[in-house]
Amino acid sequence: MVIINAKLYPIDRDPIPCGFVRVEGERIAEVGEMSAYRPGDGDVIDAAGACLLPGFVDAHTHIGIWEENLGLEGDDTNESSDPATPHLRAIDAINTRDPAFRTALEGGVTTVVVGPGSGNPIGGQCAAIKTGGSLWIDDRIVAAPLAMKMALGENPKREYGDQDETPMTRMATAAIIRENLQKAVEYRDKLARAEDEDDEPDYDAKLDALLPLLAGEIPAHIHAHRADDIATAVRIAEEFGLRYAIVHATEADLVAEPLSRLGDRFLGLITGPLFSTRTKPELSHLSFSAPGILRRHGLETALCTDHQVVPENYLLLCAALAVKHGMTEADALSAVTLSAAKLSGIESRVGSLTPGKDADLVLLDGHPFDLFTNVTRVFINGACVYGKE
């Protein structure tokens, strides 16, 4: 398949006013200007000047695990019986029949990171999946486990304070995370010292689940809104040498300068949901200006919907509003494509129109940030999964 005569937004380079994208199998094979196009085998789609972008990537959602229309039965976000559950896997609770997946396609979102909720200091393992295709969830996986979800601030306090259980304070939340990480370090070291199976410690599902995090194989995605909670997240992650991203980061713009001094272990910030109300005290600083401020400090920044907080099809609208409040168009598009993929560790698969990456493509009938623009077609792995004439 080849799409011709499109205005291309490759994301990893400047837009191409009139270009083509050739797809072979499930991957992008060639991207270029129409002057370099040579006809070949396969279907030809004439975009007639429409905009072609990589499929949008939402770096933080609860789609499929917090289902629409189902109330308690469809809510599997928080295992509130235990504040430390690193062994839980979001992939085991995602229902691909959640109607929100169709909504995601309507908005051009082709990849979502799905994680446990923020009720637990250590909530479990996130996964990245495609939003269309087979109902069989394993066929949609981009990466699992993708990250270890952690949470600071009001949510763990509320989740367990209402039960009169720990953690009831920010101190206890941080202590629970540290305690479990330290136990995992000791568990790892005992495994390394063991000369045979008899010397190995008894298997511990929780501690075993933290080993990829300690080894740097996956990052921590740490829920934090207030500036002091962001500082705590940094402190804990640096203590244990973790790779990490801050999720939500509502007050990150207030501490952008110290964040910009952090080393390579700090991946960046997944901001949002911004298209929402201030439903709790730690959201008092909520502002669409923040993503642009963070980018001007050189920080990798993504936008997220935190679906269901913001409907999945409004991800691009969130980017448009960030532009209205000072973010550059290029940075805003990257925030829902390549930057989101980088912060999720899946940039080798998705996030830009680059040969070798998955053929996840979105056709728009107007400028990406025009309110009247429609998503006309969506492709995942080279197959059309949404079409609107």
Q: Per-domain residue ranges for the chain? A: 1-55+352-389, 61-350
Separation CA 158–CA 38 (nearest Å): 61
CATH level 2 (architecture), domain 1-55+352-389: Roll (2.30)
Question: What mean pLDDT do residues 246-271 have?
Answer: 98
How would residue 279 be classed by pLDDT, with cut points 50, 70 and 90? Answer: confident
How would residue 252 be classed by pLDDT, with cut points 50, 70 and 90? Answer: very high
Q: Residue 370: what residue type?
A: D
What is the CA 240 to chain-centroid distance, rounded?
23
Q: What is the CA radius of gyration of the chain?
A: 21
Would you state the pLDDT for residue 174?
98
- Among residues 361, 362, 346, 343, the alpha carbon closest in space to that of 304 is found at 343
Question: What mean pLDDT do residues 277-285 have?
Answer: 90
If one counts every other C-beta atom within 10 angstroms of the C-beta of residue 205, the result is: 10
Cis check: omega of the bond before 219, within 30 degrees of 0? no
Separation CA 196–CA 188 (nearest Å): 15
- Among residues 341, 249, 363, the alpha carbon closest in space to that of 297 is found at 249
Angle, CA of 349, 352 and 354, to the nearest 5°:
80
For residue 78, what are the contacts with CB-CB under 8 A and spacing of at least 6? 116, 117, 118, 119, 120, 123, 159
Would you state the pLDDT for residue 75?
87
Residue pair 93/121 in contact by the 8 Å Cβ criterion: no
Would you state the pLDDT for residue 129?
99
Question: What mean pLDDT do residues 300-325 have?
Answer: 97
High-pLDDT (> 70) share of the chain, %: 99
- Three-state SS at 20: strand
Separation CA 122–CA 83 (nearest Å): 7
What is the CA 194 to chain-centroid distance, rounded?
37
Would you state the pLDDT for residue 388?
63
- Reported as a single tens digit per residue, the pLDDT across 97-114 is 999 999 999 999 999 999
Range from 21-30, 126-135, 197-206, 208-217 carrying the lowest mean pLDDT? 197-206
Query: What residue ranges in 275-330 does DSSP mark as E strands?
Result: 301-303
For residue 186, what are the contacts with CB-CB under 8 A and spacing of at least 6? none
What is the CA 229 to chain-centroid distance, rounded?
20
The neighbouring-strand residues paired with 33 are 19
Angle, CA of 383, 384 and 389, to the nearest 5°:
165
Residue pair 212/145 in contact by the 8 Å Cβ criterion: yes
- pTM attached to this predicted model: 0.96
Burial class, 195, CB count within 10 angstroms (exposed 0-12 / middle 13-18 / buried 19+): exposed
For residue 23, what are the contacts with CB-CB under 8 A and spacing of at least 6? 1, 2, 3, 29, 42, 359, 361, 379, 382
Q: How many residues does the chain have?
A: 389
Range from 66-75, 127-136, 328-337 carrying the lowest mean pLDDT? 66-75
Do domains 1-55+352-389 and 61-350 share one topology? The answer is no
Would you state the pLDDT for residue 275?
85
Would you state the pLDDT for residue 10?
98
Q: Structure tokens of 40?
A: 């070949």
Would you state the pLDDT for residue 199?
84
Superfamily of domain 61-350 in the CATH hierarchy: Metal-dependent hydrolases (3.20.20.140)
Average pLDDT, the chain: 96
166 φ/ψ angles, rounded to the nearest 5 degrees: -80, 140
Residue pair 84/180 in contact by the 8 Å Cβ criterion: yes
High-pLDDT (> 90) share of the chain, %: 91
**Residue bearing the bigger pLDDT, 343 or 74:** 343
Would you state the pLDDT for residue 277?
85
How would residue 205 be classed by pLDDT, with cut points 50, 70 and 90? Answer: very high
Residue at token pair 């960046």: 268
Would you state the pLDDT for residue 162?
86
- Reported as a single tens digit per residue, the pLDDT across 344-377 is 999 999 999 999 999 999 999 999 999 999 999 9
Would you state the pLDDT for residue 97?
95
How would residue 37 be classed by pLDDT, with cut points 50, 70 and 90? Answer: very high
Asked whether residue 314 carries a pLDDT value surpassing 80, the answer given is yes
